[in-house]
Amino acid sequence: MPENITFKVLYEGPALSNHEMNVRDLAPALLAIGDLLEESNKILNGDKAKIAVNIKATEPGSVFINLSAVQDLIAQAASLFNSDGVNAIVNAAEILALLGFSSDGGFGVLGLLKWLKNRKIKSIIKLDTGDFHVEAEDGELRISNSKEIKLFSFLSIRKNIEAVFTPLDRTGVEKVSFLHGNIVNSITKEERDYLHAPVIDQELIDESEIEQSLQIINISFQAGGKWRFGDGNATFFAEITDKEFLEKVEQNEMAFAKDDLLKVRLNRKQFISEGSIKTDYIVIKVLDHRSALVQIKLPFKDNSVQPPNFTP
């Protein structure tokens, strides 16, 4: 049987006194709640269970939204596990608590963020109990369980938590509360700044240098501008750092047309940033230039060679 838990979201503030809220503010926050629970379920349960968040009828309040999280054990996956494996599944109620939406203000990912108050984490040490000792940069300590730390470490979780509370950025929205049973956990406008996802620096994962012929698609004559090339398979923008080549271009010693070919030494760098791969191209040396104009090869002969004598 699927597990069905119901929880509520309450948006409060003078801007909501008529019990109405702009859909452009509300819809992204509700979608983020769904994404947050689905992503958390995926991180904690893998493919053993799936979860969906449904909206139910609203009731009087400021802006009061009833939501339900329905979690299903996937039948095919369940057959691969014994009873211990099935029991190890983190259920929907626990996921909600681990995120901090159905627990007191000091527990879950929300509790950890509110405790940190934008301080950097100095160290995280695993204890014999399986929990973690978290030390803030000023030396303050707290204990967090392993599932809480696991969710806290995923950028997708942090980004969705930030998105859930975006209505607090609007004038007149002062508080967002989550209600599950008798538990109420609230985030105020003043606490909103504690929930921003970190900015992750891009990481270089691959770099290579090759000689390649490229076709010119677009030319940029601005300093630092990127030219657009095609390699017969795809098009991309590339910076040219060959000073000798650029000087010739600037002094009009070289003329170009669309579809001309350049044989170049090309540097390609691949980075990963926030889960996506980004590729940068740099032309470090232009080795040859070939015009795209096609010239028919005619059978010219050397004038110095005398034609043979024909006897009539």
At residue 86, the pLDDT reads 45
> Alpha-carbon distance 18 to 12, whole Å?
11
As beta bridge partners, residue 198 has: none
3-state class percentages of the chain: helix first, strand second, coil last, to nearest 5: 30, 35, 35
The sign one gets for the Cα dihedral 206, 212, 218, 222 is positive
Q: According to the model, what pLDDT value does residue 83 have? A: 40
- Give CA–CA dist 195/207, Å, rounded: 35
Spans of the chain below 50 pLDDT? 61, 76-86
Residue given tokens 């070919």 in the structure block: 261
185-193 long-range Cβ contacts below 8 angstroms, 24+ apart = 185/100, 185/101, 185/102, 185/103, 185/104, 185/105, 185/110, 186/105, 187/110, 187/114, 191/114, 192/165, 192/168, 193/118
User: What is the C-alpha separation between 268 and 214, in angstroms, rounded?
Assistant: 14
**10, 117 contact by CB (below 8 A):** no
Record the tokens describing residue 213, joined without a space.
Answer: 């012929």
d(CA 161, CA 148): 14
H-helix or E-strand containing 289?
Answer: strand 276-290
- What is the spatial distance between Cα 220 and Cα 75, in angstroms, rounded to a whole number? 58
Closest CA to 191 of 104, 138, 135, 116: 116
| Cβ 305 vs Cβ 261: under 8 Å | no
Backbone CA torsion sign across 142, 146, 148, 149: positive
> Measured between alpha carbons, how far is 123 from 135 in angstroms, rounded to an integer?
5
Per DSSP (E only), the strands in 13-170 are 49-56, 63-73, 121-126, 132-136, 141-144
pLDDT for position 268: 95
What six digits make up the tokens of 68? 């339900």
Segment holding 85, helix H or strand E: helix 83-87
Alpha carbons 189 and 208: distance in angstroms, whole number: 48
The distance of Cα 59 from the centroid of its chain, to the nearest Å, equals: 35
Q: What is the pLDDT of residue 253?
A: 84
| Complete DSSP assignment for 267-281 | EEEEEEETTEEEEEE
User: Looking at residue 294, what is its pLDDT?
Assistant: 55
pLDDT at 163: 94
Count of positions (residues) in the chain: 312
